[in-house]
Structure formats: C-alpha cells, structure tokens
DNA sequence: TTGTAAGCGTTATCAT
DNA sequence: ATGATAACGCTTACAA
C-alpha cells in the first residue's frame, strides 16, 4: 500500500506518450512539440514525479557526483578549500561526496576505492603528501583526478597549487631584514613533498641573505594550536629571533606561547604565518602571513576537473596560483 | 579498445559459475561452497573486478549514502559537526554527500531535492532555522531525516540539540553576578527558532536577577569576525557592561573591537561566547564560553539516522546533549 | 516529432 | 549450493 514510487513509465502512460518522450522533456531535449511538452510537464507536476538519479546514472554512466578526499574537514584550511570545490561543483551541476582521510595512507586508499565504486565522475584529492600506494591506486583508474593544495613530485597528476618554495622564501626574506636567526616551524611532514618544498625555499632565502642553515632551527609539529603553544619554549631556547610557521593554528599557538613567556612580539621575536586564514586577525598582535588563495585553490581545481570530465583538452596540468603577503603586527 | 569495464558477468563466465553465485560471494552470503568461493575470489582478484555501486543501488534500492545539508562547511562550527557526522557514517559504511545551503531557503529546497533524487538513504539537515517551505519538502518524502543543531519548534522531525535556552540563561546568569547591563549579541535570525530560544533564556535570566529587559541591548549581526568587530562601538554606546554572544567568531570580533576602543575586558566589560570552538583560546584575554559538544552533536545525529534507516524503533526523537561552561579571561 | 527496444550492472525470487 | 531470469528506472540508438 505504500507502493508509491512514480517512475517515468507512470508519467508516460498517464500522459499518453512513450517513456522516451518523457525522458526528452525531463532532459530538456528540443525535439518535442510544445503541446506534448506541456502535457508531460503537467502530468509530472500532478504525479509529483522525480527522476531517479541512480537509474539515470546506471543508464548514462554519469553520476554528476565527484568525490573529495580530504584529511580533515574540521580543519579550517581544508574547509576553505572544500567550500571552493563545492561552489564550483554546484555551478556545474555536480554534487560532492566528502570523505575524511586523516592523511592516513590506508584510509586514503580505502575511501578512494569506495568512491570509485560509487562511480564518481571525478576526484579531487587533498593530502599532506602523495604516497606511492595511493599513486598506484590512481593509475588503476581512468576516472579524472586532480590534486588541490597537494604537490606531486612525479608530475603525473594535474594539480592546483601555489609555489610553496617561493612563498616560504619570500617570508624568510622578509624576516631576514631584521633577524639573524630565523626558525622554520613546519607540519609533521617535513619530509613530505609539501614540506620539502617549503624547506628548500627557506634554505634558499637563508643563502641569499648570508645566514647559515642549522638543523636546530627547524621544528616539526602537529597541526594544532596546542602543539604551537607547547613549542614556544623550545623555540625561544633555540635562540631564534623570528619564525616562519607553515600553519596558522600553530602560529597562533606559538605567538600566544611566546607572549605568555614574556617575549615582546615583534620586537624581540617576529612571526610570519602561512595561510592568512581569518584566525590570523584574532591575535594581538595580529599575525603577518603569507596569503594563500584557499578558496580559489579549491575552486580552480574543481574547474579543472570539470574540464577533464568533459574531455576538454587541458592546456596546463600544473596550475600555480599567485600567493601574497599580508603584513600585520607580528613582524616589523 | 578502452572497453575494460569488468562486470559481474565477466567474473561469472571466467569462474564457470552463474552471476548469482558471484553476487553471493561478493555480498558475503553463507550459501556458497568454500571451494566455489575461493575460485570466484581468485577470478575477482585476477580481473580486478569492482562491484558497481550504482547498479547495486538501483537493484537494491539502497545507496549507502546520506545527504548532509549544511549552511557553510567553511564555518568551523558546522565543520566540527560535519566531522562528527562523517566519522559515524563511515563507521556504519555510509558515505556523505555534503551540500552548502548558505542558510538560504531556496537553496535548501534545491539541494534537498537533488539529494533525494540521488536516492540518499537518509538526510542530516543543519540550518539556522526551519522554514515552512523546507518543512513542506520534508513531509513529501519518506526518506529518514534528522536535524542536527537545529531546533524544530513544531516537534515533528527528530533532532539532536543542546538546550539553547538554558545555555543562554546560564551564561547570562554568570554575567549577572557582576554586571547590571547585559547585552545579547545574536545571529542574523533572532526571530529564528534557535535565536528565539536563546532570547527567551536570556530574558528568563534577567528576570531571575531582577534586571529589566531592553530592546536596545539586543544586537543582531551576521556570523563573521568583521561583523563583530564593527559592532563594538554600538555595543559600547548602548551602555552595556557585558554581553552574551551566540557565535564565537563574532565574539572574537567584539572582544578585539572593544579592546581596540580602549575598553578593559573583563573589568569594564565581560564577554561570554557560545560554542567554545578552539578560537576562543586564541584571543587575549581568552574567551569564556558556553561549551557545546559540536562533534557529538554531529555524531549522535548520524547515529540516530542509522537507526531510522534501519527501521529500528526510536525511543527518543528529541535528543538533548548536555552543555557546559568554560571560564576564561573575558569574564570575572 | 515520437515510439520501440536494447541495454546499464546489479539484486532478488524462484526453481532445481 | 547453484542457476535462470525478471526486475530496478532510466538513457539512447534506431526506426518510423
């Protein structure tokens, strides 16, 4: 008695046409007489018919859904990217299915496979680095994939990034104007591609400003406020008088930690953060920061993906978006 | 030549069994001889066969996907909820398709419909309030729906919330210990259900502490840092000496705005925020805050949804999670 | 402009 | 324990 699934067939019968015709009007095909269209539309309205996207997906081999693999949606950095992705996806009539990976290799492989099983039309992949295992998974499929905010050192997969090395270099150079001992505070993956890039930019800046590189000035930490806070003591003990920090939350923690220790920021210690997310404005002094177009990184990667799904020819598979620098109170 | 879609049929032929048998082993059906299972599994491995979830969904009428309608995934409040939702979803083998609504009625209706068209097995709906239009959409479908962090004043739809009125009352009472003029800074929807609840809690607290309610002490604003910042002047001009703020970002803005105006927080002005998200620790002084179990709100609502999708009987359709209070430097 | 019918890749119901 | 075969609800040639 609860058997009320209205199908295209019901509409066809009720409107006195074939299901092909109904399909045509539903899909906006022009080859339908205006009178018939009206009639069909009427019945659709009356029966409250809604096309079943699953059946449609099976028949057309298109799901109008893309997968988004993301380390942690509750991290504001990734959340901003995700918003950019969804807005463009929506614009092109796609939905996104989001899967958190925690940056864990096995989880990544897992979710990529279930997403592919669900026949997503494309995949946007965000991670801290690209493991060989996940690369192997990628090579098994013909589903279009683009990396957003994630460097591929093998240059195999289309990516949308900023120039992380240059950004780190710029920030370091900025600090070198006033400081002789500049620390680099990086995420847990200094050996990851993304971290490597930043490290090399940092080192290059040191060379150009005739400062010597020292392992003791490089700090690795997890991406959280508390980790930054805890790090303050060690950083001060290192004798550094400035730091480039690759994560905003960590930078806030470091700043608050140092200030809590009685350090005068920016006079005794200068800080430049990396993402210019809104939280850089929350602190006192506010954080100077490299400016990353987070939303755009997501938006552009999704746009790129639409082109790939559409089999358009891609002129440039490695998009580099410009970054900037915003000077606030934490540096001189 | 690129015609390499491996189907269950290919596996069947290759293994010398029927597709029914292949389907059985893929689905872990016990009625398969161990030898046959092995043989089939072998072929699956060799052919690198992956079941097509879309076809499966059409045949079984289950997609193992749930829709999540969310105002803005880049807002840390909602992002935390989303993470809770996804973790539990994953635990129960569901994927989530997320759609941003910007809290806009029309967009909400839109995405709900496309989600339903995609045959999601269930829906988690987050919003600032529940419009009649969206309620009408909900009543048209038999797909299970639960509201997370969203009050339904008609008590029709299962919800998972905290007691917003009580939380606002608690915070106001806390401030009333030291202040005689307490402002309420609310989101754009003071007339929305959620806002109404908070307003009533605020008013109740005023009555209990013998303070008079004044329209001039209620401020509405959008949910952003800059809106809070801009509000500082007006709030100070109102003569208020304390404020309950219903959004963390706005609270940070208000705090920084007041401090920038030379106001001594907490001595001349006390602030209590609402969500205890991590940003409450970023400011100086740090923000006292109502403590909401954001992640749990998401997790519990998803758990509730799994029960509904599973047609289990639900004992309590209106779950209220406990809230707390964290005292920091912004209040005395 | 419209209709017919063959898929799409599974699950599920009967038989056997 | 296994196999045929009919759905599932739609798209898409191909005809007419």
- The chain A residue lying nearest B80, using CA atoms, is A74
Interatomic CA–C1' length for residue A33 and nucleotide C1, angstroms: 6
3-class DSSP state for residue A126? Answer: coil
Q: Is the CB of B27 under 7 A from strand C?
A: yes
C-beta separation of A81 from A295 below 8 A: yes
Integer Cα distance of B321 and B293 in angstroms: 8
pLDDT, chain B, mean: 94
Q: Does A74 reach chain B within 8 Å, measured CB to CB?
A: yes
> Closest approach of chain B CAs to the CA of A51, in angstroms?
6
Q: Is the separation of the CB atoms in B293 and B162 below 8 Å?
A: yes
Which residues of chain A fall below pLDDT 70? 1-3, 189-193
Beta bridge partners of A183: A243
A73 has a chain B CB within 8 A of its CB: yes
Please report residues of A whose CB lies closer than 8 A to that of B73. Answer: 73, 79, 82-83, 86
Of B127, B244, B135, B108, whose CA–CA distance to B186 is shortest?
B244
Can you give the three-state secondary structure of A49-99, one letter per residue?
CCCCHHHHHHHHCCCCEEEEEECCCCCHHHHHHHHHHHHHHHHCCCEEEEE
pLDDT in tens, B280-318: 999 999 999 999 999 999 999 999 999 999 999 898 899
Percentage of the residues of chain B whose pLDDT score is greater than 70: 98
Minimum CA–C1' distance nucleotide for B24: C11
Residue nearest to nucleotide D13 (CA to C1'): A20
Three-state DSSP class for residue A168: helix
- The verdict on B58 touching A (C-beta cutoff 8 Å) is yes
- Taking every pair of Cα atoms in chain B, the longest distance, rounded to a whole number of angstroms, is 84
Sign of CA dihedral A294, A295, A298, A301: negative
A310 with A293: CB under 8 angstroms? Answer: no
Same fold, B8-51 and B60-162+294-322: no
Q: Render pLDDT for A8-24 as a digit per residue (tens, 0 to 9).
A: 999 999 999 999 999 99
Whether B131 and chain A come into contact, CB under 8 Å, resolves to no
CB of B59 within 8 Å of a chain A CB? The answer is: no
Residue B76 has a pLDDT of 83
- Number of other CB atoms surrounding residue B238 within 10 Å: 16
Phi and psi for A211 in degrees, rounded to 5? -110, 150
State phi, psi for B320 to the nearest 5 degrees: -115, 120
> What 3-state DSSP class applies to B59?
helix
Which helix (H) or strand (E) covers residue B286, if one does? none
Q: What are phi and psi of B292, to 5 degrees?
A: -105, 135
Taking CB atoms and an 8 Å cutoff, what residues of chain B touch A248? none
Say how far apart CA B141 and CA B121 lie, in whole Å. 11
The pLDDT, as a whole number, for residue A214 is 95
Which residues 56 to 95 of B reach strand C, CB within 7 A? 56, 58-60
Task: Give, for A122, the enclosing helix (H) or strand (E).
Answer: strand A122-125
**Contact at 8 Å (CB) between A253 and A227?**
yes
Q: Which residues of A touch B72 (CB under 8 A)?
A: 83
Q: What is the pLDDT of residue A308?
A: 96
Residue A19 approaches strand C within 7 Å at CB? yes
Tell me, what's the pLDDT at A154?
87
> A12: which nucleotide lies closest, measuring CA to C1'?
C3
Is the Cβ of A87 closer than 8 Å to some Cβ of chain B? yes
How far apart CA B298 and CA B76 sit, in angstroms, is 13
Question: Which CATH architecture does the domain made up of A60-162+294-322 adopt?
Answer: 3-Layer(aba) Sandwich (3.40)
The predicted-structure confidence for B38-50, as pLDDT tens digits, reads as follows 999 999 999 999 9
**CATH assignment, A8-51:** 1.10.260.40
Chain B residues lying within 8 Å of A256, measured CB to CB: 281-282, 284
For residue A241, the 8-state DSSP code is S
pLDDT digits (tens, 9 = 90+) for B2-34: 457 999 999 999 999 999 999 999 999 988 999
CA atoms within 13 A on the CB side of B15: 28
pLDDT, tens only, B192-226: 657 889 999 999 999 999 999 999 999 999 888 99
pLDDT interval class at B88 (50, 70, 90): very high
Torsion over CA of B185, B188, B191 and B194, rounded to 10 degrees?
-70
* Contact in structure between A67 and A122 (CB atoms under 8 Å): yes
Third-level CATH fold of B164-291: Rossmann fold (3.40.50)
- Cite the DSSP H helix spans in chain A: 8-15, 19-26, 34-47, 53-60, 76-91, 105-117, 132-139, 164-176, 193-208, 225-237, 248-260, 294-309
Q: Is B282 on the interface with A (CB under 8 A)?
A: yes
Sort out which chain B residues have CB atoms less than 8 A from A123's CB and list them: none
Domain residue limits, chain A: 8-51, 60-162+294-322, 164-291
Nucleic strand C within 7 A of Cβ B7: yes
* A92 φ/ψ angles, rounded to the nearest 5 degrees: -100, 20
């Amino acid at each position: 008695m609860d058997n009320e699934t209205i199908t295209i067939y019901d509409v066809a019968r009720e409107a006195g046409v074939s299901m092909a015709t109904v399909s045509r009007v539903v899909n906006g095909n022009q080859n339908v007489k205006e009178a018939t269209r009206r009639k069909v539309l009427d019945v659709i309205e009356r029966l409250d018919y809604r096309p079943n996207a699953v059946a449609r997906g099976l028949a057309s081999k298109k799901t109008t859904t893309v997968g988004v693999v993301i380390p942690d949606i509750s991290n504001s950095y990734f959340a901003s990217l995700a918003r950019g992705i969804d807005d463009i996806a929506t614009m092109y009539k796609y939905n996104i299915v989001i899967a958190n990976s925690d940056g864990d290799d096995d989880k990544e492989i897992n979710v990529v496979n279930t997403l592919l099983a669900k026949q997503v039309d494309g995949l946007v992949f965000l991670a801290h680095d690209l493991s060989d295992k996940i690369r192997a998974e990628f090579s098994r499929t013909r589903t279009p994939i683009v990396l957003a905010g994630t460097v591929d050192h093998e240059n195999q997969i289309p990516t949308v990034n900023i120039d992380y090395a240059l950004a780190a270099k710029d920030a370091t150079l900025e600090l070198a104007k006033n400081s002789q001992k500049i620390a680099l505070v990086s995420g847990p993956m200094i050996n990851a591609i993304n971290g490597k890039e930043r490290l090399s930019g940092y080192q290059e800046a040191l060379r150009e400003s005739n400062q010597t590189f020292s392992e003791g000035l490089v700090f690795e930490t997890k991406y959280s406020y508390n980790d930054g806070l805890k790090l303050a003591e060690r950083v001060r003990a290192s004798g550094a008088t400035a730091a480039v920090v690759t994560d905003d939350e960590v930078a806030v923690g470091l700043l608050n930690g140092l200030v809590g220790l009685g350090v005068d920021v920016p006079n005794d210690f200068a800080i430049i953060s990396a993402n210019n997310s809104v939280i850089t404005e929350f602190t006192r002094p506010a954080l100077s920061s490299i400016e990353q177009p987070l939303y755009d990184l997501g938006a552009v990667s999704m746009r790129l993906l639409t082109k790939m799904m559409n089999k358009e020819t891609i002129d440039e598979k490695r998009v580099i978006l410009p970054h900037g620098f915003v000077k606030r109170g934490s540096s001189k």
